[in-house]
Copies of this chain bind each other. A is one copy, B any other.
Amino acid sequence: MWKTIVLQTLSRLVKRGRLEVTLPDGSRHEFGEGTNGPDVALRLTDPARLRHLVQDPELALGEAYMDGTLVIERGDLRQMLTLFAINGGRDALPPLLAAGYAARFRARRFAQANGLNRARANVAHHYDLGDDFYELFLDADWQYSCAYFAREGMTLEEAQAAKKAHIARKLLIQPGMRVLDIGCGWGGMALTLARDFGAQVTGVTLSENQKARAEARAAAAGLSDRIDIRLQDYRTLDERFDRIVSVGMLEHVGAPNYGTYFNKVEDLLDPDGIALIHTIGRCGPPTTTSTWLAKYIFPGGYNPSLSELAGGIETTDLWQADIEVWRGHYAETLRRWQKRFEANLDRVREMYDDRFIRMWRYYLTGAEVSFDAYKHVVFQMQLTRRRDTVPNTRDYLYAQKAAAE
């Protein structure tokens, strides 16, 4: 019975490209018209996964890949994920999958509620995997967010520096300003703003590893007096800052909490302040997080539509001063991370087993695919409390650069 449903579903979904599937009973099946998409052959070796594929295809596919019971016999992981992405429009789902998706969409308010304790556990799940591990695929500055490939031929290090410089321009930072970094990671942004712009930076993170590493880096740079890293939830802050920056943290906030998030940003921001919120988002309608990603990589996480972000901002009195949309940059960043990860595989193996390695590969590759096939993007939202805090044209972001070239 499960076999029949799996085959019916695939035959209904897969139109573009070609998919050949060999089931555990040895039967082979072909789907798709063979054009406008990858050509992929898969073998499933575990009979128990058939039922799981019907009930929760996202989770079942990811777990089968992790377990090694899904073998890609023609094409590669990127092509397989692309094939499912371009054929898996949630509009075209058969009734059973559509009902499951609708239920998960409604359940976002629980799955992404992310209270103080849950938020901390979610962060520990991902960011406390070990600095030794992140070192193996991130750049030397530990930037775990989208780089800005502003010019042809940039290295990952250069593109991460360009990202920080672009954000600093949008913040119009003056020496001595108090800057809050919500989700400060391993301290790269704090170091740049303190060292290059003379800012007084408060960074908050929920990861003990990140806090320790960021503090050690500040000390090594002789900047401990200008950088204050705290293990604290941003919702418990009660101060005023001239500038607020938050890069790659809103992805952990969860769809039910955008009002809370932006209201807190407003409360923490000086009336003459500027906030720059940088987050993954999506050029598409509200949806919900893949069950595989929510279970293994980012519990409580969600990449919002612009309508959802704007809806959150509109519950405040903040002005939306500028919204930049980065399209290709994160896919390129992820390719660089994948390359480093694969190049350091021997060292990863000393820390983790093959299942973990396949999990991480599935995550990095799936994320890359999502920036094309699922229309994921990065939104940089510049927010102010007064109308005229930033100049009335965007020339100031580009003028210096053009003059220097």
Measured CB to CB, the residues of A under 8 A from B are: 148-150, 283-286, 305-308, 310-311, 313-315, 317-329, 372, 375, 377, 387-388, 392-395, 397-399, 401-403
- What residue of chain B has the Cβ atom nearest to residue A399's Cβ? B402
Q: Which of B149, B150, B377, B401 contacts A320, CB < 8 Å?
A: B377
Q: Are A402 and B392 in touch, CB under 8 angstroms?
A: no
Please name the residue on chain B nearest to A401 by beta carbon. Answer: B395
Are B319 and A327 within 8 A (Cβ)?
yes
Q: Is the CB of B323 within 8 A of A387?
A: no
| Partner among B311, B319, B326, B372 whose Cβ is within 8 Å of the Cβ of A392 | B326
Chain B residue nearest to A388 (CB atoms) is B328
Complex contact A284–B314 (CB within 8 A)? yes
Each complex incorporates copies of this chain amounting to 2
A327/B321 in contact, CB under 8 A: yes
A395 to chain B minimum Cβ distance, whole angstroms, is 6
Q: Which among A148, A318, A319 has the greatest number of chain B C-beta atoms within 10 A?
A: A319
With A and B bound together, what is the CA distance between A308 and B392 in angstroms? 24
Decide if A402 touches B398 in the complex (CB within 8 Å): yes
Q: Is A283's CB under 8 angstroms from B320's CB?
A: yes
Which residues in B have their C-beta under 8 angstroms from that of A377? 319-320
Q: How far is the CA of A36 from the CA of B266 in the complex (A)?
A: 20
Min CB gap A164→B, angstroms: 15
Docked pose: A34 CA to B318 CA in angstroms: 25
A314 interface neighbour in B307, B393, B394, Cβ under 8 Å: B307
